[in-house]
A and B are shown apart, each in its own frame.
Chain A
Amino acid sequence: YQTFPGTPRWKKTHLTYRIVSYTSDLPRKKVDDAIKRALMVWSDVTPLRFQRVYTGQADIVIGFARREHGDGYPFDGRGNTLAHAFAPGEGIGGDAHFDDDEKWSDINQDVNLFLVAAHEFGHSLGLAHSNVRGALMYPLYSYQNPQTFRLPADDRRGIQKLYGKKTS
């Protein structure tokens, strides 16, 4: 695993998230559920807790967008870049953006929202790309069954280096 330069991380364990826009590929409830489960991937192994907010500011702002969408890192249409997220910090820090030109899915082998979101939230929490094939933070997308997903050891070590282990 790798962290970002300067090892940015949240200095608190209670983080808020807000979903500001949705894809039309999935019912909103399924998007909400995929996002919640993707955050749980990380909160299951650390002391981090996530609370959803519906108005005002949030640490992690989540949205779907196409092409240029206001952050200077335009998406590129169907394929190639699927999503991106920013390292922990004020303002845009922690935010996660998903390319709405992709075909998003919750269960089948189109681009699986849960798997991509879990990866992006790794960035939102301070993990950079891993060169370990099979790690969640490996930059290339590959499908696996979300129902049987388990956080690989490389990612667990990385996130626990930043936030410690979950306390019982």
Chain B
Amino acid sequence: FPVQLRPEPGTGRDLQKIKAYLDKFFPIFTKTQNLSIEERIKEMQRFFHLTITGKLDTETEKIMTLPRCGLPDVAE
């Protein structure tokens, strides 16, 4: 049987989940209004020293599940 493909970020629940995380911890400021979701994921991956893919890969998804402080990781 063909392997079930994982949906790309940009669709459905995955997108909502990553957007909620990014909005909370890597919020958009006036200067960065036009950043795509891919650029925002890259910013998060840079902060956590992950492989920069711009995609919601396993490594990135794992970070999102870890217990953490509620303050944003970037400040205006």
Contact = CB atoms under 8 A, between A and B. Distances in A.
Interface of A: 2, 4-5, 73, 75, 79-85, 99, 102, 111, 116, 119-120, 123, 128-129, 131, 133, 139-141
B67 A84 contact: no
B75 interface: yes
8 contacts: A79-B65, A82-B67, A82-B69, A84-B70, A119-B69, A128-B75, A139-B71, A140-B48
Interface in B46-76: 47-49, 63, 65-73, 75-76
A5 B68 CA distance: 21
Contacts of A5: 75-76
> How many residues of B sit at the interface, in one of the four size bands?
10 to 19
Given A5-B75, A129-B73, A141 B68 contact: yes
B76 A133 contact: no
A83 B70 contact: yes
Given A131-B49, A133-B49, A140-B63, A81 B75 contact: no
Interface in B2-41: 25
B68 A80 contact: yes
